[in-house]
Amino acid sequence: MKIIVLMKQVANKDAILRINRDATWIEEGDLSFEVNESDGYALEESLRLKEKHGGEVVVCTMGAQRAKSVIKDALARGADRAIHVVKDDLLNLTPYAGAKILAEAIRGEQPDLVMTGLQSDDNGFAQTGVILAELLGLPHATIVIEVDASGEQLRVKRELESGWYQWYTMPKPALLTIQSGISQIRYATLKGIMAAKKKEIKEVAPAATDPAAPSQRVTKVYFPQKTKQTQFLGDGNAKAGAAQLAEKLRSEARVF
């Protein structure tokens, strides 16, 4: 089974975000980056499927050269090779335009399965995978929390709201967007890191996108307006804040 797993590099979750001068995006200069959370789970699930059913796992990343760290890490964990669509600026790329570029980058691979995370932690469009499936003519399922690839058809468990689930059956090839928590993510071993050095990373240029105006464009980014009057306690002093909070919980909130 040939599995292509799409992985995106995003700003580190613990980063304190600041808005850039033009208010068009965040200030990226001093940020560190990491792999998008659910993409890490998509890779893990792909590796497990390969271990069970044989085949190959190909990582595909679109992004600047710094995104190589995502690829190298995936190869160290056990992916077999990688496709890097080198594109410096993803900022004004709509989900449709991005999916189009990715579709052209992987179309020739004829995968049995395409796996993505269910959304990126930065833009959070939650669309790239589904649009990609449509462009490649594949059936898809989103928010997938379990995959059974042992039969002729794929059987996948989808998460619904409020603790409900549902199984779907569909033919292969297919595209799945993976929910975080589907399995426990392995660490790269030293052996894996050494082996990764010999693995192929193919760089490709992005296919030309439509010159037509994009269907959506970010005009401004800003911190949300606060809607609730929060009483901030301690004024930077954690211990003082804790003491005040205990008192408020008793006298105002009356929880004890």
Partner 1 sequence: MPNGIIIFTEHRDGAFNKASFEAVAAGQQLGATLGQPVSAVVLSADANVAQGLADYKLDRVVSVENAKLSEYTPDGYADALESAVRALDPAYVLMPHTYLVRDFAPKLAARFGKDVISDCVRASVDGGAVTFSRRIFLGKIDADVVESMPVEVGEVRMKPEAPFQEVKAAVDLSKAEVIVAIGRGIKGQDNIQLAQQLADALGAELAASRPICDAGWLPIDRQIGSSGQTVAPKLYVALGISGAIQHLVGMKNARTIVAVNKDPEAPIFDIADYGIVGDLFEVVPTLVEEIKKLKG
Ligand X SMILES: Cc1cc2nc3c(=O)[nH]c(=O)nc-3n(C[C@H](O)[C@H](O)[C@H](O)COP(=O)(O)OP(=O)(O)OC[C@H]3O[C@@H](n4cnc5c(N)ncnc54)[C@H](O)[C@@H]3O)c2cc1C
Binding partner of 221, given partner 1, ligand X, none, CB within 5-8 angstroms per partner class: none
Minimum CB separation from ligand X for residue 119, in Å? Answer: 5
Minimum CB separation from partner 1 for residue 41, in Å? Answer: 8
User: What are the φ and ψ backbone dihedral angles of 45, each rounded to 5 degrees?
Assistant: -65, -35
Quick one: three-class SS letters along 10-36?
EECCCCCCCECCCCCCECCCCCCEEEC
Question: 128 to 147, contacts with ligand X by CB under 6 A?
Answer: 143
Question: 115 to 174, contacts with partner 1 by CB under 8 A?
Answer: 124-128, 130-131, 133-135, 139-143, 158-171
Question: 147 to 186, contacts with ligand X by CB under 6 A?
Answer: none
* Cα 118 from Cα 140, distance rounded (Å): 12
- 75 close to 196: Cβ distance less than 8 angstroms: yes
CB closer to ligand X out of 73 and 159 = 159
Among 86, 83, 63, 65, which Cα is nearest to 74's? 83
119 scored as a contact of ligand X (CB under 6 A): yes
Residues facing residue 60 across a β-bridge:
6, 83
String marking each residue 17-36 x if it binds partner 1 according to CB under 8 A? x-------------------
Q: By CB neighbour count within 10 A (0-12 exposed, 13-18 middle, 19+ buried), where does 194 fall?
A: exposed
Token code pair at residue 199: 């693995």
12 scored as a contact of partner 1 (CB under 8 A): no
Question: 9 to 68, contacts with ligand X by CB under 6 A?
Answer: 13
Question: 70 to 109, contacts with partner 1 by CB under 8 A?
Answer: 94-96, 99
- Among 5, 47, 67, 118, contact with ligand X (rule: CB under 6 A): 118
- Give residues with Cβ within 8 angstroms of 202, minimum separation 6: 81, 82, 83, 84
**Count of residues engaged in binding partner 1, rule: CB under 8 A:** 72
Binding residues (CB under 6 A) for ligand X: these are 13, 118-119, 143
